[in-house]
């Protein structure tokens, strides 16, 4: 029986895209939002795309309480406060940060410097009793939301707990044609998160939705 | 007639690998080193791998003076001083930084924070009269040095001058099976340089020589 996943910030494009793909892979999904009605609306929208999927919605705390495993997909500005508020219900559980800390200046994406090193390390600093991994930052939300589209590419997975990293690699590989790559300790998450800024800037220039693949593994 | 390329720090593995590949593509190469004898020795070593290539060696200043286009491939620690010393002979010319600012802690590669934003922006700050691009940081030196090996992958090219960027993209594509990708302004170079740390850490884990490719362009 696959674990139930909560996706906090799951009413945003990246969160909805991941919810759709993981549900297609058979994981029961609870979309979390600050507003329970908005979470339910996002769940309904995904069921319109692909009826019969195991997707529901709830307020953030309820979603995280219901789930075995929580993915954080909120804007970076909200990450600290959201994580702190959920710390009690996330204790003892697996938590995956999907967040890339970005700012935009004149249409150009810039990686924001995080004093803890990365968004994922910020999460880990606030959740000492959870196992924290980092993944999925570099996938195009628009492509995730096209259920029939195959997503060639690699998901770079970081985390300090080897078993948590292995589970996250398996979750990545549950999306058809994607490969999970073991990118080591959470201290490597900065490079993966920052890469999102580069991909967005390249995408703008090429009018594309690119992602990355490691050649030669 | 292809431009003559100087590769400063060309006696190191990355510099020698690039020298070999660009020479194979028909570019006359001058390997630069602080010590002219060491530069000549590196050139001879490459001619042993592939006789008849247009590769010679010279002291750094002579190499940069002889060339139309200079690539900087020195360790980050030496980049500021080396660039400053060459500024007069590089004025008015095209200069490409190949440098990734790395440090190693307990066998783990870490990207060093550069106050100018990136190694390439440090170079640009010291060479106001040159056109500066950034490229080639993510290629495996060992694979570059195997003349018969095809190098599938992308070279992400940054630079503030569009024509200089286009020339550097063309240089990347001169290596068989590689693609040059326009990664925009020099402010994006940080993400490309830092990615080198991630690739080295992944390579160690997988015992591989990986590089990246953008999927979906």
Helix (H, G, I), strand (E, B) or coil at B75: coil
Instruction: Give the pLDDT band of residue A123 (cuts 50, 70, 90).
Output: very high
Q: Which residue of B has its CA nearest to A113?
A: B113
pLDDT exceeds 80 at position A13: yes
pLDDT of residue B2: 83
ipTM of the complex: 0.91
Is A142 part of the contact surface with chain B (CB cutoff 8 Å)? no
Q: Are A10 and A16 in contact (CB under 8 A)?
A: yes
Contact A202 B182 (CB under 8 A): yes
Pairing of strands B5-8, B69-72: parallel
Any CB–CB contact under 8 A between A121 and chain B? no
Report how far residue A179's alpha carbon sits from residue A170's, in angstroms, rounded to the nearest whole number. 9
Contacts of A144 (CB under 8 A, 6+ apart): A14, A16, A17, A18, A20, A21, A151
pLDDT exceeds cutoff 80 at A1: no
Q: Which residues of A touch B182 (CB under 8 A)?
A: 202, 205-206
Q: With an 8 Å Cβ cutoff, is B162 touching chain A?
A: no
User: Which positions in chain B touch A162 (Cβ < 8 Å)?
Assistant: none
Per-residue confidence at B54, pLDDT binned at 50, 70, 90?
very high
Is the CB of residue B60 less than 8 Å from the CB of residue B82? yes
**What tens digit of pLDDT does each residue of A133-158 get?**
999 999 999 999 999 999 999 999 99
Pairing of strands A102-105, A94-97: unpaired
| Mean pLDDT in residue range A41-59 | 95
pTM: 0.94
CB A90, CB A130: distance < 8 Å: yes
Report chain A's mean pLDDT, rounded to a whole number.
96
Residue B69: what pLDDT? 98
Residues 6+ apart with CB under 8 A from B140: A216, B17, B203, B209, B210, B211
Question: Quick one: pLDDT band at residue A6, thresholds 50, 70, 90?
Answer: very high
CB contact under 8 A, A208 and B185: no
- Evaluated on CA atoms B197, A164, A156, A136, the torsion sign reads negative
pLDDT of residue A2: 83
Residue A54's CB is within 10 A of a number of other CB atoms, namely: 16
Split at pLDDT 50, 70, 90, the class of B209 is: very high
Q: What angle do CA B60, B63, B68 make, to 5 degrees?
A: 130
Please tell me which of the candidates A191, A215, A217 has its beta carbon nearest to residue B206: A217
Interface probe for B, chosen from A139, A202, A203, A211 (most Cβ of B below 10 Å), is A202
* pLDDT for the residue B125: 98
Nearest to A214 among B181, B184, B202 (CB): B202
Q: Which of B191, B198, B215 comes nearest A213 by C-beta?
A: B215
Cβ–Cβ contact A210 with B under 8 A: yes
* Tens-digit pLDDT profile for residues B117-149: 999 999 999 999 999 999 999 999 999 999 999
User: Does A201 lie at the interface with B, CB-CB under 8 angstroms?
Assistant: yes
Within 8 A of B185 by CB-CB distance, chain A residues are: 108
Task: Please compute the mean of the pLDDT values over residues A162-171 and round it to a whole number.
Answer: 98
How would residue A33 be classed by pLDDT, with cut points 50, 70 and 90?
A: very high
A2 versus A53: the higher-pLDDT residue is A53
- pLDDT at residue A66 tops 90: yes
Using the Cβ of B144 and the Cβ atoms of chain A, whether some distance falls under 8 Å is answered with no
For tokens 């660039």, name the residue.
B83
Q: Which residues of B touch A140 (CB under 8 A)?
A: 216
- Give per-residue pLDDT as tens, B162-184: 999 999 999 999 999 999 999 99
């Amino acid at each position: 029986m696959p674990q139930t996943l909560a996706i906090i910030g799951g009413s945003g494009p990246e969160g909805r895209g991941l919810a759709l793909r993981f549900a297609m892979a058979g994981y029961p999904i609870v979309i979390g939002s600050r507003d329970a009605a908005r979470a339910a609306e996002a769940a309904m929208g995904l069921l319109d795309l692909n009826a019969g999927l195991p997707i529901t919605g709830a307020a953030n705390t309820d979603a995280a309480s219901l789930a075995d495993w929580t993915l954080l997909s909120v804007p970076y500005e909200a990450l600290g406060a959201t994580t702190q508020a959920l710390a009690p219900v996330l204790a003892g559980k697996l938590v995956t940060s999907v967040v890339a800390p970005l700012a935009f200046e004149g249409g150009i994406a810039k990686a924001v410097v995080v004093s803890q090193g990365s968004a994922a390390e910020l999460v880990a600093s606030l959740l000492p009793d959870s196992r924290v991994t980092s993944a999925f930052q570099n996938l195009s939300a628009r492509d995730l939301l096209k259920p029939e589209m195959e997503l060639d590419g690699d998901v770079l997975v970081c985390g300090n707990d080897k078993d948590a990293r292995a589970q996250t690699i398996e979750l990545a590989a549950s999306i058809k044609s994607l490969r999970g790559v073991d990118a080591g300790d959470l201290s490597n998450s900065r490079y993966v998160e920052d890469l999102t800024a580069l991909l967005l800037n390249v995408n703008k220039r090429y009018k594309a939705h690119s992602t990355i693949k490691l050649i030669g593994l």
